[in-house]
């Protein structure tokens, strides 16, 4: 029988969750949803030296903002496998049992080496031109551990409470194979794998042991994580094997990296061209906060849509997806092996598409306080109409003001390029006529303005619309001009035209 789909997102609270982490959470979420399974949030906080205050709360808040809520786990309600924080699970002795089992079966051992001794070994190996010095089947023979020391000495050390770690005993020359859903079969020789520490001297398990124990106990069916964990996977296979749990092991999927726009290297949190974090993140160790997608004006739906297409290929040309739509077709078979280049311009485009889908009233409600702050008040119908027109020209809500401020403030200058190119000796007369005709209008509607403009053209010949735009708004482009003039109002439009004609 196929296992029930149970996936987990297992971040360490070592900092703010960046977009790569959110994508991992999203792919887990989509997969669980597709299969009617469970999605769990587990906090992997066994490395106390890297613990960062506020990181866990940030992770929970970020997932909530993105709308990819786990149905079990820290911050989202307890499930049958509580607690979901590894530090709390350690207190229950959950990991120790498994470490003891490995020691008993001869697949793990105690190592008593001090930091200095380890350093000396590293230096020696480096001097001997060993490329990646590691504690392994060869080097362990010259170190102080329960495999090299006499039995009674080991016993004495253990009884005296000497500092020790538990290490995995990786065989010397063995082929380790495993199948990754995204990468296919991976084959690694065990000589490439070091004797990983499983339990640290403070009694805490390392990630390697803890995640395996938890994945087994939490009945995880698929372990989906970033590519950076691929090199550790062979050691994990051995741990499962030595625990006799290979048949219960979750299927593995290692997601590709998210790369910089130039395709070189993975995105760094110090990136200045675009946000890297979903929400603004203030790291207590850093002076400056990092701006988030939310604060930069992105909609969560857009952000999630952008992330989904970083590495996942839906198999057709569709680009805009709701989470539900994605969840209907999401599959790891369609996730690429190679890194996914992030395109910040395309990200803005996505936001624009979602902005256009918003109800005008929703945009008006957001714009109203902005307008007030700028010192202007208008009734709802006016703001609604303004937003309806300007929304076609912006990618973010915060651009509404800049794109359409001339509706509220008369221009002080006129787009120079347009004036230099198009303003000629005939223009004054032409626009004088347009102004006169506008003055005689009783009814200042879009239709009336349009008709009047064409009436003027019937008399003067073709009139350059862009010039009319520059005279009345100061700028060379924008939403439908007559619609904007209707909003600006008759008296104000005429005042602006008279002023421009006086100046030019």
Q: How far is the CB of 217 from ligand GLU (least distance, A)?
A: 14
Q: How far is the CB of 183 from ligand GLU (least distance, A)?
A: 15
Closest CB to ligand GLU: residue number: 225
Q: How far is the CB of 46 from ligand GLU (least distance, A)?
A: 9
Q: How far is the CB of 11 from ligand GLU (least distance, A)?
A: 5
Q: How far apart are CA 461 and CA 454, in angstroms?
A: 9
Alpha-carbon distances, residue 356 vs 326, 345, 420 (angstroms): 20, 17, 34
Positions of E strands within 13-117: 38-41, 72-73, 108-111
Q: Which stretch binds ligand GLU (CB under 6 A): 8-16, 251-259, 420-428, 432-440?
A: 8-16
- Considering beta carbons, is residue 14 or 424 the nearer one to ligand GLU? 14
Q: How far is the CB of 236 from ligand GLU (least distance, A)?
A: 9
Q: Which of residues 227-286 bind ligand GLU (CB under 6 A)?
A: 229
How many residues bind ligand GLU, per CB under 6 A? 9
- Considering beta carbons, is residue 11 or 205 the nearer one to ligand GLU? 11
Contacts with ligand GLU, 194-233, as mask; x by CB under 6 A: -------------x---x-----------x-x---x----
- Considering beta carbons, is residue 25 or 121 the nearer one to ligand GLU? 25
Phi then psi dihedrals of residue 179, to 5 deg? -105, 130
The answer to whether 95 contacts ligand GLU (rule: CB under 6 A) is no
Q: How far is the CB of 211 from ligand GLU (least distance, A)?
A: 5
The answer to whether 167 contacts ligand GLU (rule: CB under 6 A) is no
Sign of CA dihedral 342, 343, 348, 351: negative
- Considering beta carbons, is residue 250 or 474 the nearer one to ligand GLU? 250
Q: How far apart are CA 275 and CA 282, in angstroms?
A: 13
- Considering beta carbons, is residue 40 or 121 the nearer one to ligand GLU? 40
Catalytic option among 269, 428, 437, 439: 269
Q: Which stretch binds ligand GLU (CB under 6 A): 9-17, 52-60, 190-198, 482-490?
A: 9-17
- Considering beta carbons, is residue 211 or 391 the nearer one to ligand GLU? 211
Q: How far is the CB of 224 from ligand GLU (least distance, A)?
A: 7
Q: DSSP letter for 419, please.
A: H
The answer to whether residues 478 and 403 touch, using CB atoms and an 8 Å cutoff, is yes
Q: How far apart are CA 254 and CA 252, in angstroms?
A: 7
The answer to whether 11 contacts ligand GLU (rule: CB under 6 A) is yes
The answer to whether residues 34 and 251 touch, using CB atoms and an 8 Å cutoff, is no
Q: How far apart are CA 203 and CA 90, in angstroms?
A: 9
Contacts with ligand GLU, 445-484, as mask; x by CB under 6 A: ----------------------------------------
Phi then psi dihedrals of residue 75, to 5 deg? 85, -5
Q: How far apart are CA 152 and CA 162, in angstroms?
A: 14
- SS3 at position 276: coil
Q: How far apart are CA 453 and CA 486, in angstroms?
A: 13
Q: How far apart are CA 371 and CA 404, in angstroms?
A: 11
Q: DSSP letter for 193, please.
A: S
Q: Which of residues 20-49 bind ligand GLU (CB under 6 A)?
A: 44
Secondary structure element (H or E) that encloses residue 175, with its range: strand 175-180
Q: How far apart are CA 415 and CA 344, in angstroms?
A: 29
Residue 164, Ramachandran bin (φ over 0: left; ψ between -120 and 50: alpha; else beta): beta
269 is catalytic: yes
Give the pairing of strands 175-180 and 108-111. Answer: unpaired
- Considering beta carbons, is residue 63 or 223 the nearer one to ligand GLU? 223
- Considering beta carbons, is residue 283 or 301 the nearer one to ligand GLU? 283
Q: Which stretch binds ligand GLU (CB under 6 A): 10-18, 136-144, 291-299, 338-346?
A: 10-18
The per-residue DSSP string of 461-490 comes to: ----HHHHHHHHHSSS--S-HHHHHHHH-H
Q: How far is the CB of 401 from ligand GLU (least distance, A)?
A: 40
Q: Which of residues 64-93 bind ligand GLU (CB under 6 A)?
A: none
| β-bridge mates for residue 456, sequence order | none
Residues that bind ligand GLU in the complex, under the rule CB under 6 A: 10-12, 44, 207, 211, 223, 225, 229
Catalytically annotated residues: 269
């Amino acid at each position: 029988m196929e296992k029930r789909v149970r996936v987990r997102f297992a971040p360490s609270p070592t900092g703010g969750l960046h977009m790569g982490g959110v994508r991992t959470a999203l792919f887990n979420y989509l997969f669980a949803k597709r299969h009617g399974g469970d999605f769990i949030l587990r906090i992997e906080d066994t490395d106390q030296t890297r613990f960062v205050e506020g990181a866990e709360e940030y992770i929970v808040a970020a997932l909530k903002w993105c709308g990819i809520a786990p149905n079990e786990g820290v911050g989202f309600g307890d499930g049958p496998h509580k607690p979901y924080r590894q530090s709390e699970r350690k207190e229950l002795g959950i990991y120790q049992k498994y470490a003891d089992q490995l020691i008993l079966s001869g697949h793990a051992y105690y190592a008593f080496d001090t930091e200095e001794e380890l350093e000396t070994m590293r230096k020696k190996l480096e001097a001997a031109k060993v490329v990646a010095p590691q504690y392994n089947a060869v080097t362990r023979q010259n170190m102080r551990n329960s495999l090299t020391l006499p039995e009674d000495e080991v016993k004495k050390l253990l009884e005296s409470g000497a500092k020790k770690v538990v290490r995995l005993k990786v065989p010397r020359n063995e082929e380790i194979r495993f199948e990754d859903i995204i990468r296919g079969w991976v084959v690694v020789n065990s000589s490439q794998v070091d004797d990983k520490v499983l339990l640290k001297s403070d009694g805490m398990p390392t990630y390697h042991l803890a995640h395996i124990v938890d994945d087994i106990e939490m009945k995880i069916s698929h372990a989906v994580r970033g590519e950076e964990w691929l090199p550790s996977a062979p050691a994990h296979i051995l741990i499962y094997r030595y625990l006799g749990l290979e048949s219960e092991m979750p299927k593995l999927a290692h997601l590709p990296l998210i790369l910089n726009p130039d395709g070189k290297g993975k995105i760094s949190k110090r990136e200045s061209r675009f946000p890297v974090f979903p929400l603004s993140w203030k790291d207590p160790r850093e002076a400056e906060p990092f701006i988030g997608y939310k604060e930069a004006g992105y909609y969560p739906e857009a952000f999630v849509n952008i992330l989904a297409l970083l590495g996942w290929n839906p198999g057709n040309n569709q680009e805009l997806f709701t989470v539900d739509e994605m969840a209907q077709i999401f599959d790891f078979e369609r996730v690429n092996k190679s890194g996914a280049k992030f395109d910040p311009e395309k990200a803005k485009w996505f936001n624009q598409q979602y902005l256009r889908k918003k109800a005008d009233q929703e945009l008006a409600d957001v714009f109203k306080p902005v307008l007030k702050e700028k010192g202007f008040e208008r009734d709802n119908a006016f703001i609604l109409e303004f937003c309806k027109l300007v929304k076609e020209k912006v990618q973010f809500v915060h651009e509404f003001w800049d794109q359409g401020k001339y509706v509220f403030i008369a221009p002080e200058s006129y787009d120079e390029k347009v004036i230099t190119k198009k303003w000629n000796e005939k223009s004054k007369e032409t626009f004088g006529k347009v102004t006169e005709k506008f003055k005689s209008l009783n009814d200042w509607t879009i239709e009336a303005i349009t008709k009047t403009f064409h009436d003027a053209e019937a008399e003067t010949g073709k009139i350059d619309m862009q010039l009319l735009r520059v005279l009345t708004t100061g700028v060379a482009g924008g939403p439908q001009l007559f619609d904007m003039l209707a909003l600006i109002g008759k008296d104000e439009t005429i005042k602006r035209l008279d002023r421009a004609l006086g100046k030019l």
